[in-house]
Amino acid sequence: TKQSCSLTAMSDFVIIQNIITGIRSLLADYKIDTVKKLNVVINAGKMAKLLMENIEIVKGLARLEDLKIEKSMTKPPDSVGSVVGGVEIFVDLTGTVDLGKEKQRLQTEIAEVKKYVDSLEKKLSNKDFVSRAPTVVVDGEKKKLEEALVKLNKLEGQLKNLR
């Protein structure tokens, strides 16, 4: 039917959109300049046909030099990856990122975030602070701690991806 056909087209569009967004997120996470032409490999599994049909759209909107679609593969060397919508995306960092400097940057940022997390945990474990401060202030500190822990987890995942 016409409606089921348009629903399929809409879900295909969302998949493609999510993959492009995933690629762009990886570039932002690793501070890769978007003017650099990159090589990406997607381990697409059952979505290989859909991606092959839309390969030029993905390449254009994600600003890629080369895009390979594979049905089954392992993580290529010198690449970082992410899982988006049931596919694995691998961005080749060869020539785009100094892996040593990137590891050092991430380790430095992780140390700073850990120090911040420790200070927030210390403040929130202080019974005087929690009992005397307005609820809105305590809740604000809890929210900051939650956000810092999410950031720390993300940074540690990025560092692990580089190993």
Instruction: List, in sequence order, the alpha helices (H) in 2-98.
Output: 2-29, 48-53, 55-61
Cα–Cα dist 163/159, whole Å: 7
Q: What is the pTM of this model?
A: 0.68
* Structure confidence at residue 1 (pLDDT): 45
Of the candidates 41, 35, 45, the residue with the CA atom closest to the CA atom of residue 58? 41
- Residue-wise pLDDT for 50-97, tens only, equals 899 999 999 988 888 889 998 887 888 888 888 887 888 888 887 777
- Is the separation of the CB atoms in 24 and 91 below 8 Å? no
Exposed (0-12), middle (13-18) or buried (19+): which is 10, by Cβ within 10 Å? exposed
The total number of residues written for the chain in this structure: 163
Helix, strand, coil shares of the chain as percentages rounded to 5? Answer: 65, 15, 20
* Structure confidence at residue 8 (pLDDT): 67
Confidence band, pLDDT 50/70/90 cuts, at residue 122: very high
Instruction: Compute CA 137 distance to the chain's CA centroid, rounded to the nearest angstrom.
Output: 31
